[in-house]
Structure formats: C-alpha cells, structure tokens
Structure 1
Amino acid sequence: MIEGYRELDPNKTYLITGGAGFIGFFLSKKLLEQGCRVVGIDNMNDYYDVNLKYSRLKQLEGYDHYTFIQGDISDKDTVTNVFEEYKPNIVMNLAAQAGVRYSIENPDSYIQSNIIGFYNILEACRHNPVDHLVYASSSSVYGANTKVPFSTDDQVDNPVSLYAATKKSNELMAHTYSQLYGIPCTGLRFFTVYGPMGRPDMAYFGFTQKIFKGETINVFNFGDCYRDFTYIDDIVESVARILCNPPAKRVDKDSILNGIQYAVYNIGNNQPEQLMDYIAALEKALSNAVGREIVAEKEFLPMQPGDVKATYSDSSPLERDFDFKPSTSIEEGLQKFADWYVEYYGVK
C-alpha cells in the first residue's frame, strides 16, 4: 500500500466524464453510495443503444449528491463552464469514442472525442487546478507487443488501430501537462471490461444478442485469441482506490521531470482466457439464466484489422500500491451478466 493512502473523501466533488457509460455509471454509483458529490457529463451519443444509457442514469437519479449534464467534452465552452460552476476536486475522464474496429470505419469521431475532448479536459484542469486527474487509457496501447504479461514498463510504440493511437496520445498529452503545469495525473490501462449493463458493441454482449436471435456468431482468428477479461466490479474498485491518491512527486534533482506527479497502471485480471473457453462459459451462464441448454452457432473467420491475438495484464503495481488485485472469474462475472441480460430484455 502506498504511503499515506487515503480513502474516498465525501467532502470532495468528483467529475466523471462519460458518466452515462458502462464504467462511468458503476463508478458514479459506488461514489454516491459512499456519500460523495458526483457530477456526470455525457453526450449521450448513439454509438450503441442510447436507451441503455438512460437506464443507467435512471438508477442515479435518486441520489441527492448527483448532478448530470448532457454535453460533449469536445466542446471547449461546455467543459470550461462545468469546471467553473462545479469546481471539481477530482476528475475521472472516461468519455471517449470506444471500439477498435469502429475506429477504422469512423476515424473522425476518435479524433474529436479522444484527442480534442481530452485536450479540453487537460486545459480545464490547467486553469482550474484539481487534486487529481485520472483518465482511461487502454490495453490496446500495447498493440503488436509480444512480450507477456504486458507491463507499464514496456514500450508502447506499435499501435495497430487508430483507437489505440488516440489512447497512447492521451498518455503523452497527460504526461506533458503534468510536467508543465503540475497536474497530478494517473492513466489507467483497462483490459477488456465486461459485466451487466455493459457495452453492446463488446463481443460477449454481441454474442448474446445473436444467440437469442438464433443467428451465427463470428469467431475471429478461428478462435485462437486470448483476452484478459476484467469484471466491472474489479475495475470500479481499482479506480475508487486510486482517485484520492495522486502519484507521489518524482525526486530527481538532475532531471527536468523532478517533481512531476504522473503514473500509469494496468487494470486487468492477470489471467487471459482463450476465446473458445470464454464462449463456452457464456453458453453455460446463459443456459443457467434461462433454464435450457444454449449452444451458439459459430462461424470461424480470420483476424480482423486492428485486432490483436492476446492481451495479458501485469497488474502487480496496482496490487503493490493499492492492495487490490482484480480476481473475479469469468464464470462468476458472465453469470451475473447473463442473469441481468435475461431480466433486462425479458428473454424466455
């Protein structure tokens, strides 16, 4: 555990961008349950079913200390006004255009949200000093790396998608602003997040939709893929422990980086699962949820552009500094997802 570790402080104001998103919703809920003041901002775009975003927000409406703003972080005036009005102490930037494959089809939205939007957040933190800026990076920054497990000490100079390139850019931008303007920054490289109320563009969610429609699911790289699937509760617990604990100042009087407060962590399960095993666990979870046998029809296809064969997180620095290690098994996590899905969509 880091020296001087601090629990969540209910006297602080937490700004969560992407507040109606998957991680943003569950993180907001956890903070609100701890009595914290939370301001959420989200543009409510239709990249996936917007009704799911409204369902998440509906669960947050009952909390007294929650404020939601519909707005886009790529609009600088919107971001500036939010910072000036609510004066956040801690910022969690989760707003981004997600998805590896979609970045090949629609690159403009990635530059707008992930680059310009993040720049606006950095500028706002520069002119309205905060205790800590935490932001979502991604395991995709490891790109074509073959050394496993992926460590934050590894070089990440070989992105294989524009999405990955924007996330690497975020890390460089945050490092620069931290060094130049004294903004305490922590980047979080999330590894394949899943769970109830998740993103329909993610494989496990899309598989489930197709299975219940009687459609064939596409299994890329002929099933020879490995992912470090990380359950949403483990992600949120990790983030919650980090929020009130900015990095210690670097001490190196001979370096221009002396005094910088900057860190990057992997947040992953540290246990990659073979895609076919994951599909089998999903079939079992869905079978349990509906009380009948579920078997997916599969079509095996080559690797898609922008995809990588394997992700594998070295999360030991997270465990060392925050005494927490993501550990939810895919069987437990997928069962919770399957039970939610069947109830939410009324599957018989």
Structure 2
Amino acid sequence: MTNSYDAILVVSFGGPEGPDDVIPFLENVLRGKNVPRERMLEVAEHYQHFGGVSPINEQNRLLIKALEQELEQHGPDLPIYWGNRNWDPLLSDTLEQMKQAGIERALAFFTSAFSSYSGCRQYREDIQRAQEQVGEGAPEVQKMRVFYNHPGFIEAMVERTQEALTQVPEERRDQAHILFTAHSIPLTMASGCQYEAQLKESARLVSERLGSYQWDLVYQSRSGPPQQPWLGPDVCDFITQMGEKNEVQDIVIVPIGFVSDHMEVLFDLDTEAKDVGEKLGINVVRAKTVGVHPRFITMIRELIEERINGAEERPALGDRGASHDVCPVDCCLRTSEARR
C-alpha cells in the first residue's frame, strides 16, 4: 500500500435538502432492506418537521471548511472532495469530478467512528461501485482507520459531555446519569463486526475522564421489522424504566455513535427522548456531537499525516490499540451468515 496521495475524500451518508427530496432520499437509503413502507413514511414525517431539510449536508460543509483551514495552516497541502452514499453529491459524481481534475489516489475519511457494515464496509462497497461507474481512470481510494479510541475523538467527546453537564443544576450534577447512545443495528449484523465492543470502549474511555458518574450504553433509531432482534436497550425504553423506578432526576444523553447533529439526533433524542423524560419528570439534557470541535478536526489531520508518513506509533487509548488500515476480507459483514 503506497503512502502517496493527491486528495482527501470525505465520505458520508447524505440527506435531503428540501421537501421534494425526502421520499426519493429515503428510497435510496432503504433500497434492498426489509423495512416496512409505513416506517419509511413515519421517518419522512420526521424530516418534514424540519422543512424537509436534513442538517447533515450543511454540517459536512462546515467540517470540510474547518479541515481545509486546518490543512492550510499545518499541511499537508491536499484538496478535499466530498461524496455521499444516498444523496447529492453522490460518490459516483464526485469520483468523476476527481478523475477530470487528474486525481489518481485519495485517502478517504468516513464520517463514522465505529466498525460496522453500515459505517465501514458498505462505504467501501459504495466507493467500489462508484469507481465501476466512472470506469477507466477512476481514482484509487484508500480509507483511514476508524477512530473510536483516538485521543482526539475521546477528548472532544469529554468536552461536549462536560458542556452538557453544566446544564444540570449544580446541586444535582454529581447524581446525573449519563446515557451514551448510538444507532442500533440488527443482532445478525452486530455479530459480524466490532461495533458493540468499540462503542462500549469509547463510552468507558469518556466516562473515566469525567469522574464517578453512573452511565449506560443504549441505542436508538432502529428501523427494522419488530420481529427482527436489534441491539438494545432503546434509549426511550431505558428512560421510561428509570422514571418508573424513580431512580434519577437528571439524564445527560451523549450521542457518541454520531459525529454530527443530524436528523436522528435532532428528532430521536431532542424530540422523542426529551418528551419521554418530560412526561416522567426527568430533566433530559443532550450533549453535542463532536461536529467541528477543534480537537476533532486536528484528529483528522493527524490521521492523514499518520498514513502519509507511515507512522509506527498510532495514537489510541485503552487496551484495544489502533484499528487496522486495510480491512480483512471478512471484516464488518452484513450478517453473521455471510461468514459461512
């Protein structure tokens, strides 16, 4: 694997930017998945509460702008391109643009800190499919490692959580309960990757630096049929159980599984989870995602430099060490059955 690159490619999920985009966008997202149409229409209504505009694209623009400034100040001097899985700018269009600009080899940053089919392998499949569409001369693309235990990610999440804790009355702050949340995935998918283990490690690393707060890892945003087992417990169910037991007055939700405050954060947490807490008399506060936190942006630059320089020492907290750069053939399979 060569360490010479002539561009950075930010790879993300994509989102609608107007009411007319919502249904076509969701059809792209759910193509080939066993999700009832009723659930799709329910999610579509979530977007319409926000004018049919997902914040994820604008947040990616801000991320790219911040990273451009970081690279301009510290190097390396590389242009940044951006391609999405499900909506404009689509990866195939971006790779064609890169080809026309003479880009031959790019280093990709996926907007996912954790290893899973949806957050890693599927993006690699998306890139391969886009390369096939572009044809001869399509840029080679290599991915950066996942960063769930990188000091830059953990330090940024600690600061975001500390900021949220200041919203809890000081006299009750030490008794606040922290809920780390992430997108749920089917158990069959979870069994083929390190997603759950990495989430637990990230939550542990953040909580250790916060002090003696009680915490749990919960999940959100499941979309599959009810009979299909997914990772749990669900954040709203967990808050309900805590309220029924009268266990806590204040909950701080930390969306550690997401890097930007997109729709699933704004609706599933800021609307649904907070509504559950309000009905139970629980003060629910939500921490920001890392977004464009300066330490997070610096971390991306450090990952770029690490790969370019072939660094032997790769920062990682905890006992699991730094993740691999090149994914094994059986890494992040869609289902456990795919191993057979």
- Quickly name the TM-score band, shorter chain normalised: 0.3 to 0.5
Q: Give the alignment's TM-score, normalised by structure 2.
A: 0.33
TM (normalized to structure 1)? 0.32
- Which structure carries more relative contact order (alpha carbon 8 Å, separation 6+)? 2
